[in-house]
Amino acid sequence: MALRNATREFKRSLCLLQKSYYSTRVGLESSPLATGVRGKTFLISGATSGIGLTTAELLAQQGAIVLVAGRKKTLVRRLIKNLRLHTGNQNIYGYCHDLSTTTATKALASHVSRDLHQFFGGKLHCLINNAGVFLEEKEVTSDGLEMTWAVNTASPFILTAELLPAITGKIVNCSSIGLADQIELQDAKKYERSGHAAYGNSKLALNMWSYRLAEKLKSTGSSVTVNCVDPGTVSTKLLYAGWGDVSYVALPAEEAHDVFWAATNSSLDGVSGSYFVNRKSSRSPSVSYDSEMQKKVWDLLVAQTGATYNFDGKNQGQGKNSNEGGVEKSNSQQEDVTDLTKASTTAAAPLQASGSQINSSSNLQELVC
């Protein structure tokens, strides 16, 4: 029975991938150009390969200040070097953290927040939660969470909460066309399921807390938007891990521009709480719009991560002070920063950020771990 269900789930998701691929192919050439990107600060998790890498390249080409995050030090270093070399944009900086744990995710947020305030006027124009995993065999993290859930759902929940006061524009959460039809909230250690079911469940939950966050921000008068986007059927390591060699229905990673579109296109300014597939507003499963179920997902994530969402007007909101979930961390809980490399002394003059010149003689680090 378990094998039959897993096979059915695989076939269903493959059909969705094929549908996504052909629709994406049709609309690819009509991609609108980004506007107002130059000098704005973007953070991309999972940026060293696949969709994250393509998005980072496109942003760098447009003159953005690009903060990239990845797991492996060597890959992040290589990415920084290549982006600077091939785009001529020297404002590329990196962070290496394993986002499968609460501690590491909060450390990333702490390092980014520090640098934003020290070098970029305290402003993050756009957070792109791109990092994700697909695992056929269940794994449990040191926090006791199922790994797929930890990386795809809990980690972006934490990162968004920690950086929300600095965000001035958009939050883009990388979702999937292969969402589960129903949400599963059981403890990770008490059930078994296929990799496809775990992946679809994690992305459904991502959509659900994103919708709730969009409503919370809107109710407090914030101009920050939150949207989910299916990046399309793209030839990445994650796709191969879940579906094998399906290159015949997959876009090359360098043609995967939908996340970049969601992060930069001015037509989406003010649009929030949406789910985009092939750059069109789409409906996710009906359970994702159930406010009570959204709250259950939210409350579970707060209990699992201790994340604190502060809706106090700092992020362009005009509403009254209010907090939801978690306990604020003290300064003593923030990790120290390891200074690995200094910014290149031969770098070109930094771009304008938030209307002010970045101090090129500063010790802004290329890479923080």
Q: How much is the mean pLDDT over the chain? A: 78
Q: Is 32 domain-assigned?
A: no
CA of residue 207 relative to chain centroid, distance: 12
What is the average pLDDT across 239-260?
51
Compute the distance between CA of residue 306 and CA of residue 284 in angstroms, rounded to an integer.
27
Are 159 and 190 contacting, i.e. CB atoms less than 8 angstroms apart? Answer: no
How many distinct structural domains can be found in the chain? 1
Q: Specify the pairing of strand 274-277 against strand 280-281.
A: antiparallel
Q: Is the pLDDT of residue 238 over 90?
A: no
Question: For the segment 17-33, what is each residue's pLDDT rounded down to a tens digit?
Answer: 444 444 444 444 444 45
- Beta bridge partners, 352, equal 357
* Highest-scoring range by mean pLDDT, 85-94, 254-263, 357-366: 85-94
Structural tokens at position 138: 């269940």
Range(s) of the domain holding residue 217: 37-232+252-311
- What's the confidence (pLDDT) of residue 11? 44
- What's the confidence (pLDDT) of residue 361? 31
Q: Is 288 domain-assigned?
A: yes
Question: For the segment 304-317, what is each residue's pLDDT rounded down to a tens digit?
Answer: 999 999 987 554 43
% of residues, the chain, pLDDT over 70 = 70
- What's the confidence (pLDDT) of residue 365? 72
Q: Is 220 domain-assigned?
A: yes
- What's the confidence (pLDDT) of residue 282? 96
* Residue 323 banded pLDDT, cuts 50, 70, 90: low
Q: Is the pLDDT of residue 283 over 70?
A: yes
Q: Is 124 domain-assigned?
A: yes
Q: Is the pLDDT of residue 261 over 50?
A: yes
Q: The domain spanning residue 160 has which CATH number?
A: 3.40.50.720
Q: Is 10 domain-assigned?
A: no
Compute the distance between CA of residue 152 and CA of residue 160 in angstroms, rounded to an integer.
13
* Highest-scoring range by mean pLDDT, 31-40, 209-218, 342-351: 209-218
Q: Is 321 domain-assigned?
A: no
For CA atoms 264, 265, 271, 277, the dihedral sign is negative
* Highest-scoring range by mean pLDDT, 210-214, 247-251, 324-328: 210-214
Q: Is 20 domain-assigned?
A: no
DSSP output for 277-339: ETTEE-PPPGGGG-HHHHHHHHHHHHHHH---EE-SSTTS--S---EESS-PPPGGGSPPPPB
Q: Is the pLDDT of residue 255 over 80?
A: no
What is the average pLDDT across 228-247?
54
* Residue 49 banded pLDDT, cuts 50, 70, 90: confident
Task: Kindly state the helix (H) or strand (E) to which residue 216 belongs, with its residue range.
Answer: helix 195-219
% of residues, the chain, pLDDT over 90 = 59
